[in-house]
Amino acid sequence: MNENKTRVALIQMSCDADTKLNLEKAAERIYGAAAQGAQIVCLPELFRAQYFCQREDHSLFDITESIPGPSTDVLTKVAQETGTVIVASLFERRAPGLYHNTAVTIEKDGSITDMYRKMHIPDDPLYYEKFYFTPGDLGFKATQTSAGKIGTLVCWDQWYPEGARVTALKGAETLFFPTAIGWHPSEKEEFGTAQYDAWQTTQRAHAISNGVWVCAVNRVGHEHGDVLHNGVMMKGPEGAGIEFWGGSFIADPFGRIIARASHDKEEILLADLDSKLVEITRQHWPFLRDRRIDAYEGITKRFLD
């Protein structure tokens, strides 16, 4: 492979109620991606469980884990055995009563290179994340890896141009967005296409305005948030649940979609990312050059009356 190119794999997967099975599946998929030449692999948001934030349930804090912890113990071994960099989103137990939605970056030698704690925490119907997650306090980050300089943001972060911009300004040339997003079945017919298009469009805009690669990985499947952990079943709420829309994709620094997954199948989405294209694109579309950094003080205000 060209020395400027990096093969990326996004693991679009469904999630079982059993947290043990999800970790085993994720590891299996990483081995499969590595066999196809992947150098960096990203898993979906909170891949260890079905999306449990569909309700507020104190018993679900039992599935939290430290970093390092059980998931990273497995994934660091997988990274060593496959020679891949891994980005994995976990339900972090930082201290008693203090929990984060955290993406960990594991280097190919098995070392934990960096952590990013989700900054923007939603609170919407069936997405009650504020009950579980403390907003991140590590800031937006760029991480040097053997597979290039990357930045990771998590799901709800993907709607905010500020996070992508700061991460790019710190030197990230590829942005990863591990995600768990889907349709309310009652809304899908009327709004489903527009919702997915908006999700994809806003992230393509991050690629264009910052001249970076964007890799968004989602889960698939219809979930009610059932969680089986250490032999204990915690049932999700009755009702329609969430139909996770998949559609994982990779966009180049000009916003063009170079790889896209289906809406309803598990897939390993692969693409070769050319780091030289970041500089070439920025030379022709010099948005970073022409920023008026002297005129942006209002961006740090909640609202300008």
Distance CA 17, CA 179 (A): 18
Distance CA 254, CA 14 (A): 30
Catalytic residue at 155?
A: yes
- 3-class DSSP assignment, residue 261: coil
Distance CA 66, CA 46 (A): 14
Contact 39, 69 (CB under 8 A): no
Distance CA 269, CA 289 (A): 33
**Which of 25, 108, 118, 141 is flagged as catalytic?**
118
Q: How far is CA 110 from CA 77, 116, 244, in A?
A: 6, 17, 31
Contact 50, 85 (CB under 8 A): no
Q: Look up residue 65 and give its DSSP letter.
A: B
**Which of 141, 155, 173, 215 is flagged as catalytic?**
155
Catalytic residue at 107?
A: no
**Which of 45, 107, 173, 243 is flagged as catalytic?**
45
What b/e sequence results for 135-166 when a residue is b if at least 16 CB atoms lie within 10 Å of its CB, and e otherwise?
A: ebeeebbbbebebbbbbbbbbbbbbbeebbbb
Annotated catalytic sites, by residue?
A: 45, 118, 155
